[in-house]
Amino acid sequence: MSENLVYLVTGGCGYIGEHIVKLLAIQEYVKEVRVFDMNESEEIMRCNTASTSVKFIKGDITNYEQLLKAVEGVHVVIHTAALLDIFDTVPFKKMKAINVGGTENVINACLAKDVPYIVYTSSIAAVGPNINSEPMIRATEETVYTGEIELSYGKTKQLAEQLIRQANGKQTSHGKQLATCVIRPSNIYGEKTSNLLDAYLSAKAKNNVINYIEPENIDAQYAYVGNVAWMHVQAARHLYLKPELLGGEVYYVYDSTPMRQRYKLIYELFTQVDPSIQMGHRIPYWKMWLIINIYNIIQYIVRPFWNLKPFMTLPILNIIVTSFSYETDKAFRHFGYQPLFNWAECKKRTCEWLKNVVHDVPKQHGKHKET
């Protein structure tokens, strides 16, 4: 096989997928990047270079026939497409059809069309927290954490992970051996992070004050989206080069982001954009619990004539106040991964994006509700 490789990125116009496509387009060993998504992005289409073409393919991962056509002649698939719904507003059956059924379609299409490499984008939600809110602190990929997963989204990602890992070593239609690996991001920030913009607008609406929910001793993991994408690109490259080492493995995403509490991270970022922003106070768990339950009652009352969307749920609240983190260097040991962007660059790029997008937000968003 030549080094003029053809990659397919499912969900390539999405949050992580877009960053992956941009990085793939500048790799000298990549000849073509196919972007398989339901919605086209003009920004992605501008990623063409002199040596690498970027092609958009409109499609749905729940449509097996569309996937079969898309993977024809592809060497490596990076499967990022998924339905992310942490508020359980989408029926579980639908989410499972996309996140699990879609992943099964990707695997079967690769087996049928002789595509031997799949990198799957999972999530730390595939591990937990569980319904008992048991913490996991500074774990590794080998840590065993049990119990029923709290989020429906996490349940679907766990099932999809199992399919991907079980597919490792299967024979394709022409006798090649399928090699698969899993990338598990945790909390991501950076350009186009919608909840980061929401948090900034919320702080501005509250007289430049950041209030927070999580305990001060919380331990969580944060990584810049560009580094999350870079780990995918590096894993895909080395899965192709060393399938016997990476095949069937799982890798947590990490970088040099020093904060392990969300309120400290957003404070560091927001003060770079607006030095007048100040740290506020912690909202007690009991108060948030009460607010959520009152909101749920109101939501139930108005449901017949108004679809009031949840701003938070009790499962999300429990996750926010539960330490759930990892500490690992497995990706470095297996394929030499090092973050593409250091902390200073991550902060600079995120703040530049935030400054630009805030400038474009209409003034009426100054009345933005807290999220």
Q: What are the residue numbers of the active site?
A: 153
Integer CA distances (angstroms), 27 to 69, 213, 231, 253, in order: 24, 42, 14, 21
Amino acid at 156: T
Q: Which residues of 304-316 are buried (b: 16+ CB within 10 A; e: fewer)?
A: eeeeeeeebbebb
CB 178 within 8 A of CB 169: yes
One DSSP character per residue, 169-198 reads T-B-TTSPBPEEEEEE--EEESTT-HHHHH
CB 223 within 8 A of CB 156: no
Nearest to 350 by CA among 293, 265, 288: 265
d(CA 139, CA 186): 13
Q: Which residues lie closer than 8 Å to 303 by C-beta, 6 or more apart?
A: none
* Cα R_g (the chain), whole angstroms: 21
CB 76 within 8 A of CB 119: yes
Integer CA distances (angstroms), 118 to 168, 305, 306, 312, 364, in order: 9, 45, 43, 34, 45
